[in-house]
Amino acid sequence: MKKTPNLHFDSPFKEDVYKGLSAFPKYLLSKYIYDEKGDKLFQQIMEMPEYYLTNCELGILQTHTAAISDSFNAEAGFDLIELGAGDGKKTKIILKYLSDKNYDFNYLPVDISQSVLVELEASLKKELPKVKVQPQQGTYFKTLEKLSDYNRRKKVILFLGSNIGNLLHEKAIDFLRNIREAMNPEDMLFMGFDQKKHPQKILDAYNDPAGITEAFNKNLLVRINRELDADFDPDQFLHWETYDPESGTAKSFLVSKKPQKVFIKGLDLKVSFKAWESIHTEISQKYDDSVVKWLADEAGLEVETSFKDNENCYKNYIFRKIIN
Residue 129 within any structural domain of the chain? yes
Q: Which domain holds residue 31?
A: 12-48+201-285
114 and 146 inside one domain: yes
In a domain, 164, yes or no: yes
Q: What's this model's pTM, rounded to 2 decimal places?
A: 0.89
DSSP of 135-152 = -EES-HHHHHHHHTT--S
Question: Domain check: are 249 and 272 in the same one?
Answer: yes
Residue 170 lies in a domain: yes
Cis check: omega of the bond before 25, within 30 degrees of 0 = yes
Helix (H) or strand (E) holding 224: helix 212-228
74 and 178 belong to one structural domain: yes
What distance in Å separates the CA atoms of residue 193 and residue 195, rounded to the nearest whole number? Answer: 6
* Same domain membership, residue 252 and residue 127: no
Tell me: do 163 and 259 sit in the same domain.
Answer: no
Phi, then psi, of 26 in degrees rounded to 5: -75, 150
Rounded CA separation 134/312 (Å): 34
- The helix/strand count (H/E) of the chain reads as 11, 14
Distance CA 132, CA 100 (A): 13
**Residue 282 φ/ψ region, left for φ over 0, alpha for ψ in the -120 to 50 degree band, beta for the rest:** beta
| Res. 3: pLDDT tops 50 | no
Q: Say yes or no: 183 and 41 in one domain.
A: no
Q: Specify if 302 maps to a domain.
A: yes
Instruction: Verify that 228 and 297 share a domain, yes or no.
Output: no
Question: What is the per-residue pLDDT across 33-81, written as a single tens digit (0 to 9) for each?
Answer: 988 899 899 989 989 999 999 999 999 999 999 999 999 999 999 999 9
**What mean pLDDT, rounded, does the chain reach?**
93
Size (the chain), residues: 324
Query: 278 and 305: one domain?
Result: no
The verdict on 21 and 164 lying in the same domain is: no
Q: Is 1 inside any structural domain?
A: no
Q: At what angle do helices 65-72 and 91-100 cross, to 10 degrees?
A: 70
* Burial of residue 74, with CB atoms counted within 10 A of its CB: 0-12 exposed, 13-18 middle, 19 or more buried: middle
In a domain, 6, yes or no: no
Determine contact, residues 181/148, Cβ cutoff 8 Å: yes
For residue 322, is pLDDT > 80?
A: yes
Tell me: pLDDT of 119 over 70.
yes
**Is 5 within the bounds of a domain?**
no
Give yes or no: residues 211 and 184 share one domain. Answer: no
Provide the number of structural domains found in the chain.
2
Q: Are residues 212 and 299 in the same domain?
A: no
Q: Which residues pair with 263 in a beta bridge?
A: 270
CATH of the domain at 138: 3.40.50.150
